[in-house]
Amino acid sequence: MSEKNREGKRSAREKMLEARASDETRAKRNKKLGVIGGVAAVIAVAVVVGVVVQNQRSKPETPVAAPVGAVADKNLVIPSGPANAPSVLTVYEDPRCPACGAFERQLSPTVDQLEDQGKLYVNYHLVSFIDRSLSGKGSKYGANALACAQDAGHFRDYHDVLYRNQPEETSDSFGNNATLLSLAKQVNGLDSPTFESCVNDNRYGGWVSSVQQDFDKSGYKSTPTVLLNGKPIYPKNGEEQISPENLVKWVDAANQGKPLGTTGPGKESPAPSSTAAESNTPPSP
């Protein structure tokens, strides 16, 4: 074998090895690109499908069904008292929120009284965000039951009854419709097959979710948020603590020189009867 021949053989083998090596690198790189492509595809598909599906699921921000007589933009607000009263009290509250319970137990008789005197128009926003942090359904089902009571014309009484019988924040007894229905028996004329099916079917679930989304965007972060003619008065109005006496004083001051709203039987649900008397404030006349 000549020297030349040997050299030629070696270089041929080297060339072949080189070619094989570069083939291997190419194959490796292609595999790598394939994996990266696969990963990117899985992520892209998941995210796009997710956004579309979730968008679809949360679609009706304007709820299909709102309770009878709901007012304001998209009918998200439950009104109580005479609409032409000179002062407006805006209340954001969650059925499970303990501070809301305390607020209601202290002030609902006064608020009801101010409504009945034609001094105050109340706008309730039925917030349901405690279910998120503590998990459960009590805020949502409670709000739905309140919307059902609005349909039946007994919102105010049922609202007062619910807050007076509020469970511990961590106990989700309002998440059980049976509890909500049994409390409804305390309000004369509320319990009916229509009301029961409305509660059991969670008829205003979509509306409740829209009310909550509206609260999410409001910038208010806690409940109760209470505004008198747009100005926050809970827990304090300026330097003064909220109390039945102060609320009456503030409303009277705001109403000075303005005509009272129309009150009359049949227009609103009547003032709470027996159950209202249990409350600790104010000394009844």
**Interface with another protein (CB under 8 A):** 31, 35-36, 38-39, 42-43, 45-47, 49-51, 54-55, 57-58, 129, 132-133, 135, 209, 212-213, 216-217, 221-222
Nearer to another protein, 47 or 178 (CB): 47
| Beta carbon of residue 205, minimum distance to another protein (angstroms, whole number) | 12
Nearer to another protein, 99 or 181 (CB): 99
Q: What is the rounded CA–CA span in Å between residue 180 and residue 196?
A: 9
Nearer to another protein, 4 or 59 (CB): 59
Nearer to another protein, 133 or 197 (CB): 133
| Beta carbon of residue 154, minimum distance to another protein (angstroms, whole number) | 28
Nearer to another protein, 99 or 260 (CB): 99
Nearer to another protein, 38 or 259 (CB): 38
| Beta carbon of residue 91, minimum distance to another protein (angstroms, whole number) | 18
| Beta carbon of residue 140, minimum distance to another protein (angstroms, whole number) | 10
Q: Is 270 exposed, middle or buried (0-12, 13-18, 19+ CB in 10 A)?
A: middle
| Beta carbon of residue 45, minimum distance to another protein (angstroms, whole number) | 8
| Beta carbon of residue 141, minimum distance to another protein (angstroms, whole number) | 14
